[in-house]
């Protein structure tokens, strides 16, 4: 059996959904499980809605209407009036209607997951109905009953034992009769609340299903020809990798290459399942094959740019050296606030930590750090990572920029720069 993942870019409009069906038709003779993300930028729109609702903002209704209209416009282009999918989608919206009528009493992360998850519930209803309309035998599956997580809202940790038991008990039977269409990015707790697996987590969902079902491969359909040496939205003259090892792909995603979610590769490597990254606009093209023994060449350096970075410098209030105790305390505060460290450097008297800015978490972290340490910080920074690089490339990339921190090893260089 095969696992396919279609991301937001592939289903951003009615033509995208029709193209998805065209790709799936080519593989209709296979057992197929299809993981779908929210359409286009719906997750961003729902994030805004969650924030507005939580903060009692005036534009809650307006933001919600935009999400509704976007989906109804696509549906009117794909289905005749009166198609049953309209009822399914209306019912999905009713759940939000109820929630928005009440005062926000729960934590922001909990509210976020209950609202933002609707993007994938909607997209899969639409994709499933469209596949059926084109004559494919497809079945909608609520992933929350299969991918089981703890209740760390916005970053659910998967309970692999329960998840694999759930998936193995029921999914093979379904796949022998139907194409299964399900939501990426979502999970469910034992109390039946919805969790999300972290932004861009649908690739990870595909990998969870593949690992539990011992799939032949996972294909993630993207708006790029495959994995390139750099993001083509930022750099020209990029080159595509035909093959890439699991290890190199994991390194790339760890450092922030957004083409694949960082958690995706490990379960596939453990199960020996290849990951294919292919262009949804040209389904017969080979794309990139990520596997154990890859014939990989680094004709050009791999470049990864992470924007919206913060660099915090921590020193002790009594001017003592940076000790193991201080390190451990700082790590603890980062972990408690779910802030992932991208780069860390120590000197005798201070500790510099670079991480992604997530406003709600940063403010809390900063106030806790301030209670115990002297803290300075710079924001709106960029973290540039190079792999398999020549010093000349690093020089070109940092030219005219203020370098705040630099760390190099034989294979990897990382610099934090201020954007002018
Ligand atoms: N090294 C890279 N190779 C290819 N694409 C990259 C790379 N780094 C970043 N990207 C970006 O990843 C995007 C595709 O991934 P993503 O947005 O997650 O797709 P989707 O959400 O549709 O699954 C591309 O449009 C590209 O801008
Ligand atoms: N919709 C979620 C999950 C996801 O993976 O999306 P995409 O596949 O479009 O990156 C997000 O935007 O975070």
Neighbour-count burial of 27, counting CB atoms closer than 10 A to its CB (0-12 exposed, 13-18 middle, 19+ buried):
middle
Number of CB atoms found within 10 A of residue 364's CB: 15
Which ipTM was obtained for this model?
Answer: 0.98
Q: Global pTM? A: 0.93
What string of pLDDT tens digits covers the 420 residues of the chain? 999 999 999 999 999 999 999 999 999 999 999 999 999 999 999 999 999 999 999 999 999 999 999 999 999 999 999 999 999 999 999 989 999 999 999 999 999 999 999 999 999 999 999 999 999 999 999 999 999 999 999 999 999 999 999 999 999 999 999 999 999 999 999 999 999 999 999 999 999 999 999 999 999 999 999 999 999 999 999 999 999 999 999 999 999 999 999 999 999 999 999 999 999 999 999 999 999 999 998 999 999 999 999 999 999 998 889 999 999 999 999 999 989 999 999 999 999 999 999 988 999 999 999 999 999 999 999 999 999 999 899 999 999 999 999 999 889 999 999 987
Ligand 1 pocket check for 398: Cβ under 6 Å: no
pLDDT reported for residue 10? 98
Which ligand 2 atom is at minimum distance from the Cα of 5?
8
Ligand 2 pocket check for 264: Cβ under 6 Å: no
Q: Which domain holds residue 335?
A: 302-418
Does residue 260 lie within any of the structural domains? no
Nearest CA to ligand 2 atom 11: 200
What CA–CA distance (Å, rounded) separates 211 from 91?
A: 32
pLDDT reported for residue 168? 98
Structural domain ending residue among the three candidates 193, 222, 251: 222
Does residue 91 lie within any of the structural domains? yes
Does residue 244 lie within any of the structural domains? no
Ligand 2 pocket check for 37: Cβ under 6 Å: yes
Does residue 253 lie within any of the structural domains? no
Ligand 2 pocket check for 364: Cβ under 6 Å: no
Name the strand (E) or helix (H) holding 404: strand 402-408
Cβ neighbours of residue 299 closer than 8 Å, sequence gap 6 or more = 229, 239
Ligand 1 pocket check for 228: Cβ under 6 Å: yes
Which ligand 1 atom is at minimum distance from the Cα of 240?
3
**Whether residue 161 sits in one domain with residue 68:** yes
**Whether residue 316 sits in one domain with residue 201:** no
Q: Which ligand has the shortest distance to the CA of 37?
A: 2
Q: Tokens standing for 355? A: 């991480």
> In total, how many domains does the chain have?
2
**Whether residue 344 sits in one domain with residue 211:** no
Of 208, 202, 78, nearest in space to 131 by CA: 78
- Quote the ligand 1 centre to 330 CA distance (angstroms): 33
pLDDT digits over 61-74, tens only? Answer: 999 999 999 999 99
Residue 117 is part of a domain; what is its CATH number?
3.40.1160.10
Ligand 2 pocket check for 202: Cβ under 6 Å: yes
Does residue 374 lie within any of the structural domains? yes
Largest CA distance in the chain: 72
Structural domain ending residue among the three candidates 201, 222, 243: 222
Structural domain ending residue among the three candidates 197, 222, 247: 222
pLDDT digits over 286-333, tens only? Answer: 999 999 999 998 999 999 999 999 999 999 998 889 999 999 999 999
Q: Tokens standing for 182? A: 């399900």
**Whether residue 332 sits in one domain with residue 212:** no
- Quote the ligand 1 centre to 203 CA distance (angstroms): 12
What CA–CA distance (Å, rounded) separates 310 from 133?
A: 48
**Whether residue 20 sits in one domain with residue 141:** yes
Q: Which ligand has the shortest distance to the CA of 204?
A: 2
Pocket test for ligand 2, best of 34, 38, 223 (most atoms within 8 A of CB): 38
**Whether residue 211 sits in one domain with residue 82:** yes
Nearest CA to ligand 1 atom 26: 231
**Whether residue 329 sits in one domain with residue 188:** no
Does residue 126 lie within any of the structural domains? yes
**Whether residue 307 sits in one domain with residue 203:** no
**Whether residue 340 sits in one domain with residue 207:** no
Does residue 282 lie within any of the structural domains? no
Does residue 401 lie within any of the structural domains? yes
Pocket test for ligand 2, best of 117, 122, 185 (most atoms within 8 A of CB): 185
94-122 per-residue burial string, b: 16 or more CB within 10 A, e: under 16: eebeeeeeeeeeeebbbbbbbbbbbbbbb
Mind giving me the DSSP string for 122-176? HHHHHHHHHHHHTT--EEEE-GGGTSBB-S-TTSPPB-HHHHHHHHHHHHHHHHT
**Whether residue 334 sits in one domain with residue 218:** no
Q: Tokens standing for 164? A: 């694999």
Ligand 1 pocket check for 7: Cβ under 6 Å: yes
Residue 315 is part of a domain; what is its CATH number?
3.30.2130.10
């Amino acid at each position: 059996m095969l696992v396919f993942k279609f991301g937001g870019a592939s289903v951003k409009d009615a033509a995208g959904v029709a193209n998805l069906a065209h790709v799936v038709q080519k593989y209709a003779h296979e057992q197929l499980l299809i993981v779908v993300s929210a359409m286009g930028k719906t997750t961003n729109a729902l994030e805004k809605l969650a924030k507005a609702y939580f903060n009692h903002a005036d534009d809650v209704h307006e933001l919600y209407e935009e999400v509704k209209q976007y989906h109804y416009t696509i549906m009117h282009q794909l289905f005749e009036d009166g198609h049953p999918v309209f009822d399914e989608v209306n019912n999905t919206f009713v759940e939000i209607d109820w929630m928005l009528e009440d005062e926000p009493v729960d934590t922001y992360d909990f509210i976020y997951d209950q609202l933002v998850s609707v993007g994938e519930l909607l997209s899969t209803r639409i994709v499933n109905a469209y596949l059926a309309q084109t004559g494919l035998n497809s079945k909608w599956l609520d992933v929350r009953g299969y991918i089981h997580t703890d209740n760390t809202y916005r970053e659910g940790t998967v309970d692999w034992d329960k998840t694999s038991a759930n998936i193995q008990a029921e999914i093979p039977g379904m796949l022998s009769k139907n194409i299964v269409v399900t939501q990426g990015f979502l999970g469910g707790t034992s109390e039946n609340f919805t969790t999300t697996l972290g932004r861009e987590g649908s690739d990870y969902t595909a990998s969870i299903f593949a690992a539990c079902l011992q799939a032949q491969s996972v294909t993630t359909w993207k708006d790029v020809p495959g994995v390139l040496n750099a993001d083509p939205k930022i750099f020209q003259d990029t080159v595509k990798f035909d093959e890439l090892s699991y290890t190199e792909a994991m390194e790339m995603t760890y450092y922030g290459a957004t083409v694949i979610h960082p958690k995706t590769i490990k379960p596939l490597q453990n199960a020996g399942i290849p990951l294919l990254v292919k262009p949804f606009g040209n389904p017969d093209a080979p794309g990139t094959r990520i596997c154990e023994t890859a014939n990989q060449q680094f004709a050009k350096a791999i470049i990864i740019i992470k924007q919206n970075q913060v660099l915090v410098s921590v020193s002790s209030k009594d001017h003592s050296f940076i000790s193991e105790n201080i390190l451990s305390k700082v790590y603890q505060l980062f972990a408690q606030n779910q802030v992932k460290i991208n780069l860390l450097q120590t000197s005798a008297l201070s500790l510099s930590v670079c991480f992604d800015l997530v406003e709600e978490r940063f403010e809390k972290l900063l106030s806790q750090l301030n209670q115990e340490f002297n803290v300075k910080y710079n924001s709106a920074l960029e973290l540039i990572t190079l792999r398999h690089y020549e010093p000349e490339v690093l020089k070109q990339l940092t030219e005219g920029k203020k370098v705040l921190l630099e760390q190099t090893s034989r294979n990897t260089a990382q610099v934090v720069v201020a954007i002018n």
